[in-house]
Structure 1
Amino acid sequence: MNATGLLWIAATVWYLLCEAITASVFPGYDYATFYISDLGVAEHAELQGRVLESQIPQVMNAGFIGAGLLFFVGLALLVPQLSASRLRVPMLVLGALYTAGITFVGLVPGSPSNVDNGLIVFHAAGAVAAIAAGNALSIVSVGPLRFLGAARRIGPVLGAIGFASAALLVAHVALPDGVWERGAVYTFMLWQLVVGALLLRGSKTPAERSPERRE
């Protein structure tokens, strides 16, 4: 059983479960029109036309932080097993940026009070870092994960969709912001889940196969 696969699947399930539970008790919450981080705001107030009434914001914030930590531990375990590649270090750097970003999203909620006191800058920077680094990592993983065969090509596809969704979110066009935000976030989550499942299924890294070559 591959530890990275298990951790990455757990990270995705943990994130989506925390989001679903928190959304289920948020009066009037709509996945299409509300931001994900609205679920982590403890204050009951209006922000940019949205009425924030999260009943259990701690659950969503635990989802952000837990997902980031589980992912990075899995990545740290996987990278040393990959074949020599210039992209191993970039993968670790991008993974660290993703984890730091999503952690800041959980630690510094996008609340009205943080808008007023200026701390919203850290929340916004965390969100940008998590989305950009996560989708970039999906794209660059195509080289280091060549041992997964053709399945690894899902990374660049999902990463490109994630970046396109992020651009449309910034432009506020066509569809509500919640749709584009989830398009930018769920792409990385799907990549993480697919790769995690492939690893857990038994796809061996170059380091795991090398003893077989010596026999």
Structure 2
Amino acid sequence: MAVVTGVQYLVLEAVAASAWRDPPYDYVFNYISDLGVPGPRSDSGGRVLDSPLAAVMNTAFVVQGIGLLVVALVLAAHLHGLRRYLVVVFAVCHFLGNVLVALFHSTTPGAYHVVGAVLAIVGGNLLALTASTRRWLVVLPVLGLVSALLIGRVGAGVVDGLWERGSVYSITAWELVCGVLLLWQGSRCVERLGAWENPTRYEP
């Protein structure tokens, strides 16, 4: 499920981006959520917004939220104590955030879209940080959270899309790596999720 969720997100994003040709969609300059803004053509912060396949991108947001929520619930069943509840809470935040981003695009009045983006990005990265099956996996969400802090601060209006992708792709990369590990090692990998509660059981 983790692999499917991550792959569908990247594929549907690429499909939506490929349909945006006037001007061409820029992965470094444009925000991901720009792909979810339907016509009529508008301008936001110097970015021309008019995604021909907005429905495709918004579908990807919702499926991402649902998919990671399901994965988190499965992982949480093998965790203990506070860590179990945190994984579920962060997964719910990520799910709600993606739904809000899909329902309220960036040109919609109100703060719903911004709140959704924060919930999706922060919730997803904290989930990955808390539920990592290997200690080295925490590198991905840490980089994601750092990237989120750089949005609008470093290279504002030029490379915002790059920083945003760093904060989102960290979640996607975690999904893919975690999914592959689970497929590769099966139940043994799931059982080792509790290694942080019992360090003597941990095997690198």
Q: Same fold (TM over 0.5)?
A: yes
Structure 1 position 176 matched with structure 2 position 159: yes
Tell me, yes or no, if the aligned pair for 1:12 and 1:193 is still in contact at 8 Å.
yes
1:61-210 alignment to 2 at 5 Å? 61-80=58-77, 82-111=78-107, 114=108, 118-119=109-110, 121-142=111-132, 145=133, 152-173=134-155, 176-204=159-187, 205-206=190-191
CA distance in 1, matches of 2:50, 2:162: 20
1:48-67 alignment to 2 at 5 Å? 48-67=45-64
Structure 1 residue ranges (4+ consecutive) displaced by more than 6 angstroms after TM superposition: none
Tell me, yes or no, if the aligned pair for 2:28 and 2:162 is still in contact at 8 Å.
yes
RMSD: 1.6
Which structure 1 segments of 5+ residues have no match? 1-6, 146-151, 208-215
CA distance in 1, matches of 2:79, 2:149: 34
Q: Which amino acid counterpart does residue 33 of structure 2 have in structure 1?
A: S
Q: How many correspondences in the alignment? A: 186
Tell me the equivalent position of 2:16.
22
Deviation of 1:56 after TM superposition, in Å, equals 1.0
Deviation of 1:85 after TM superposition, in Å, equals 3.5
TM value normalised by structure 1: 0.82
- 1:143-182 C-alpha deviation (Å, 9 max, x unpaired): xx3xxxxxx1233211110111111114143861011000
Higher relative contact order (CA 8 A, sep 6+): 1
Tell me, yes or no, if the aligned pair for 1:22 and 1:54 is still in contact at 8 Å.
yes
Which structure 2 segments of 5+ residues have no match? 193-204
